[in-house]
């Protein structure tokens, strides 16, 4: 569903991605793991049009979308939940979710997806009229994912969903990422510092190191790889 070929990105004169290539099959969960500064977030930003691609191509659903404007990419069903959640702090939970559906005109579908968001994350329903800025970090992460679901995506990119969240909520969020993938057939590309958790829920993984792909394999095999164990899994 998504293919990146020889992708190169630079910020000014500093190259952050040195020609990486990867594939995300439809209806799968693929994860990118690696240390801070490896280029994981930059990869997602390049795919979603937020970072300028200097070389290589991004192909989504058979179309070349390299350097297309972000709003056009979202309208094609590819949605990005950025690191740091970026909820609209002064708007309520409900208003944030409505913002997620701003490109849509199907009122019945929007209402159904609102119900689905509350089914996935019941805490959001309890806080429907609360300002998003007053939610805990974990609740804001739930809101950011639910807001993305409101755009009716077919492909979802999640950047560091466990960052700064209480462990009990991290488990709940990851369980729901798996459920969304299974129930909706949503293709997911996940960037995550918690390599153990990311490899536990994904089908395939890539290890990024200083803007290059160091290793790639089925997630279970990566979990058993001595190099990955030592560098990322704390074994």
Q: Domain span at residue 167?
A: 2-232
Place of tokens 């390299």: 66
Check residue 217 and give its pLDDT: 97
CA 191/CA 37 separation, integer angstroms: 12
188-208 average pLDDT score: 95
CB 174, CB 197: distance < 8 Å: yes
Tell me the whole-structure pTM to 2 decimals: 0.94
Check residue 235 and give its pLDDT: 59
113-121 average pLDDT score: 94
User: Pairing mode, if any, of strands 29-33 and 53-60?
Assistant: unpaired
Whether the predicted pLDDT of 216 surpasses 80: yes
CA 17/CA 142 separation, integer angstroms: 29
Between 37 and 133, name the one with better pLDDT.
133
Q: What is the DSSP letter of 165?
A: -
Whether the predicted pLDDT of 85 surpasses 90: no
Calculate ∠ Cα 96-68-214, nearest 5°. 90
Query: Is residue 106 classed exposed, middle or buried when 0-12, 13-18 and 19+ CB atoms within 10 A define those classes?
Result: exposed
Averaged pLDDT of the chain: 94
Check residue 103 and give its pLDDT: 85
Handedness of CA 185, 125, 145, 112 (dihedral sign): positive
Whether the predicted pLDDT of 95 surpasses 70: yes
Buried b (16+ CB within 10 A) or exposed e, 13-37: eebbbbbbebebeeeebbbbbbeee
Q: What is the DSSP letter of 133?
A: G
Tally of domains in the chain? 1
CATH code for the domain in which residue 13 is found: 3.40.50.300
Angle between helices 107-120 and 93-100 (to 10 degrees): 130
Q: Which residues contact 186 (CB under 8 A, 6 or more apart)?
A: 27, 153, 154, 155, 156, 180
Over the stretch 131-147, which tens digit does the pLDDT of each residue have? 999 999 999 999 999 99
């Amino acid at each position: 569903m998504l293919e990146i070929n020889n992708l190169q990105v630079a910020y000014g004169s500093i190259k952050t991605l040195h020609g990486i290539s990867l594939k995300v099959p439809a209806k799968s969960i693929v994860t990118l793991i690696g240390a801070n500064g490896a280029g994981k977030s930059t990869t997602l930003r390049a795919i979603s049009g937020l970072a300028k691609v200097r070389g290589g191509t991004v192909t989504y659903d058979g179309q070349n979308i390299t350097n297309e404007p972000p709003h056009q990419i979202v309208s094609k069903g590819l949605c990005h939940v950025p690191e740091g959640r970026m909820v609209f702090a002064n708007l309520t939970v409900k208003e944030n979710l409505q913002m997620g559906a701003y490109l849509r005109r199907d009122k019945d579908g929007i209402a159904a997806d609102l119900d689905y968001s509350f089914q996935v994350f019941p805490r959001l329903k309890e806080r429907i009229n609360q300002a998003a800025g007053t939610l805990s970090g974990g609740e804001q992460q739930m809101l950011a994912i639910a807001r993305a679901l409101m755009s009716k995506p077919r492909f979802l990119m999640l950047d560091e969903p466990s960052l700064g969240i209480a462990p009990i909520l991290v488990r709940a969020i990851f369980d729901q990422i798996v459920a969304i993938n299974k129930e909706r057939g949503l293709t997911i590309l996940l960037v995550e510092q918690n390599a153990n958790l990311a490899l536990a829920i994904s089908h395939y993984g890539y290890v990024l190191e200083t803007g290059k792909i160091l290793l790639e394999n089925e997630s279970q095999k990566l979990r058993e790889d001595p190099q990955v164990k030592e560098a990322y899994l704390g074994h």
